[in-house]
Amino acid sequence: MLSYQHIYHAGNPADVHKHAALAAMLDYMTRKDKPLSYIETHGGRGLYRLDAPEALKTGEAAAGIGAVADAAALAGTPYRAVLDEIRAVHGALAYPGSPLIAARFLRAGDAGHVAELHPQEHAALVAALKGTPLKVHRQDGFGMAQSICPPTPRRGLMLIDPSYEVKAEYARIPREIAGLHAKWNVGVIALWYPILTGGAHVPMLAALEAQGLPGALRHEIRFPPVRAGHRMVGSGLFVVNAPWGLEAELDRVAQLFGG
Ligand SMILES: C[S@@+](CC[C@H](N)C(=O)[O-])C[C@H]1O[C@@H](n2cnc3c(N)ncnc32)[C@H](O)[C@@H]1O
């Protein structure tokens, strides 16, 4: 039974890191006049309200986007532009999840596929993505990704953003990424992972780095726990075939949280 709901965490420092990276990569990749595919394995509900009781209960957004939205380091970035566009339509306390950020960049001729397994999150995602080119699949995200790859168009980006509710995911991910890269060697594959005090991500990163994947970029930021006793003290991204300029863009994000 899935219990994770991203509304408790939307807009936290890790979301700012991941979503700024996603917007920067898609902004860069859509500058070229060639179609692309966007694939996302764990979509969430697409659109969040930061004044929802669940978001207010944890206060995570206040420590994330609430604290840094107007920082100079975000000014003029693709992420800030998407945030402004979504808030102009849905209100100042709206927060776009990754599928909605991606939808903002896709052009006619681009293709998009997002998986979400949780029934309520899936229904909300379908509603949030209405009128966009993204297709929503209610199935296991890795199953969807493996069946689509190599996608048409062949150029493209995949975001893998699991909830890590099931500890076996840490061992599964390097195998899944190896398989996806073997089928789709030109694909940009971006994995998000939490940095927890217990170091659960460490063996997973060691296994990923041991694969020697091309153009691999590992980028991590650290931040204080969003509340007393919270075990997440940082956010990590591991990107295969990382687009040009991503590292510099992410170093700007790191400044927001003190490195
Ligand atoms: C971290 S959230 C996604 C947040 C989203 N990527 C964003 O940044 O806006 C993870 C989501 O994965 C969903 N999920 C969990 N297991 C899944 C699976 N095997 N396949 C697809 N989705 C799954 C959960 O219901 C949850 O909504």
CATH of the domain at 31: 3.40.50.150
As given in the structure block, the two tokens for residue 17 are 């890191």
At residue 259, the pLDDT reads 64
Alpha carbon of 2 to ligand 1 centroid (Å): 10
Domain encompassing residue 236: 6-256
Which residue has its alpha carbon closest to ligand 1 atom 3?
44
Residue 6 CB less than 6 A away from ligand 1: yes
Residue 176: inside a domain, yes or no? Answer: yes
Q: Which of 42, 136, 148 to mutate to test the pocket of ligand 1 (most atoms within 8 A of CB)?
A: 42
At residue 1, the pLDDT reads 59
As given in the structure block, the two tokens for residue 56 are 């207010």
Q: Please list, in sequence order, all residues whose beta carbon lies within 8 angstroms of the beta carbon of residue 201, skipping any fewer than 6 positions away.
A: 170, 193, 194, 195, 236
Residue 1: inside a domain, yes or no? Answer: no
Closest CA to 39 of 120, 90, 118, 98: 98
CA 218 – CA 44 distance, rounded (Å)? 24
Residue 27: inside a domain, yes or no? Answer: yes
The phi-psi region of residue 164 (left if phi > 0; otherwise alpha if psi is between -120 and 50; otherwise beta) is: left
Residue 140 CB less than 6 A away from ligand 1: yes
CA 189 – CA 242 distance, rounded (Å)? 8
At residue 60, the pLDDT reads 93
Rounded to 10 deg, the angle between the 78-90 and 98-105 helix axes is: 100
The domain tally of the chain equals 1
User: Is 161 annotated in the active site?
Assistant: yes
Regions of the chain where pLDDT drops below 50: none
pTM for this one?
0.97
Residue 86: inside a domain, yes or no? Answer: yes
